[in-house]
Amino acid sequence: MKRILLLLFLLPFINGTLIAYNDPTAKEIIQKADEKMRGESNIATIKMSIIRPTWEREMTLRSWAKGTEYSLILVTAPARDKGTAFLKREKEIWNWQPTIDRTIKMPPSMMMQSWMGSDFTNDDLVRESSIVTDYEHELLGTETLEGRVCYKIKMIPKPDAPVVWGEILIWVSKDEYLQLKSEFYDEDGYLVQTIYGKQVKEMDGRVIPSVLEVVPADEEGHKTRLEYLSLDFNEPIQPSFFSIQNMKRVK
């Protein structure tokens, strides 16, 4: 009996960290963090910096999103890429390339490929999978990052889910549900990339990381920085906005 009582006492301290009995579940934490960054809809202007040991280039983007089913990303600069667009409409993902006047339906096999030469994958920017519904979530404990106490959560894909990662570890702050760090592993358990949430500030009434920085695990000196220049939540956008025709003409 004493051993059972001791085990029950130690359970909240698994991995050396305290898990409070009144904490939300791992799935609830991920859902709150995801909804905070998305809103019911959002419209953003973004600067992307692709950084390499010997060079750096910048792109500007406009993005529109409604829930998890609809998103549209438009490249507005530089001139050579201007007008290139990516559309997610329910389960379909499309790419418009104006320089060759061609629309491409992107298969799941393309989700792990680099997005526009950056360190983000297609799945990172035009997410085919859902971090809420396509994974099993396990709360591992808490850790402190950048002075903020964070929930540490492990996500394992559900069988037959349309995911590209074998495992994800994510750190979400307890106070404001900020996604401050995510580690992405392949099916063999090797770390592929880490995404950091930085420069926390208020944007359109929400406190969020205004910069996302992805660092590949095996390419020293490589990283891609995504900075939100503007971000407006819960703007009225109709599903009809997210059409192949509009992808070709949106400005």
What is the percent of the chain where pLDDT is above 70?
90
CA gap 175, 65 in Å, rounded:
26
Confidence of residue 207 (pLDDT cuts 50, 70, 90): very high
Q: Would you say how long the chain is, in residues?
A: 251
Does a structural domain hold residue 111? Answer: no
pLDDT in tens, 178-203: 999 999 999 999 999 999 999 999 99
The predicted pLDDT at position 20 comes to: 52
What distance lies between CA 83 and its chain's CA centroid?
Answer: 23
Residue range of the domain that includes 172: 20-67+116-235
Dihedral over Cα of 25, 30, 36, 38: its sign: negative
58 against 20, higher pLDDT: 58
Name the residue among 84, 78, 86 with its Cα closest to residue 59: 78
The answer to whether residue 2 scores a pLDDT higher than 80 is no
Residue for token pair 């809809």: 41
**What percent of the residues of the chain are helix, what percent strand, and what percent coil, each to the nearest 5?**
20, 45, 35
Tokens 């900020």 -> residue: 178
* Structural domain total, the chain: 1
Give the pLDDT confidence of 123-164 residue by residue, as tens digits: 888 776 788 989 999 999 999 998 999 999 999 999 888 788
**Identity at 93, one-letter amino acid code:** I
246 within domain boundaries: no
- Residue 91 inside a domain? The answer is no
Whether 50 has a pLDDT exceeding 50, the answer reads yes
CATH of the domain at 149: 2.50.20.10
Query: Does the N-terminal peptide bond of residue 78 adopt cis geometry, omega within 30 degrees of 0?
Result: yes
Query: Count of CB atoms within 10 A of residue 44's CB?
Result: 19
Residue 18 has pLDDT above 60, yes or no: no
What is the model's pLDDT at position 251? 81
pLDDT tens per residue across span 87-116: 999 888 999 999 999 999 998 788 788 999
CA 204 to each of CA 22, 43, 66, 207, 231: distance values in angstroms, whole numbers, following the listed order: 30, 11, 16, 8, 7
Tell me what percent of the residues of the chain surpass a pLDDT of 90: 74
Name the pLDDT band for 230 (thresholds 50, 70, 90).
very high
Average pLDDT, the chain: 89
Q: Do the domain assignments include residue 44?
A: yes
Domain membership of residue 82 (yes or no) is no
As a whole number of angstroms, the distance between CA 135 and CA 155 comes to 6
Q: Centre a 10 Å sphere on the Cβ of residue 30 and count the other Cβ atoms it contains.
A: 25
Distance CA 144, CA 191 (A): 21
Q: Are strands 135-145 and 206-216 parallel, antiparallel or unpaired?
A: unpaired
- Per the domain annotation, does 205 fall within a domain? yes
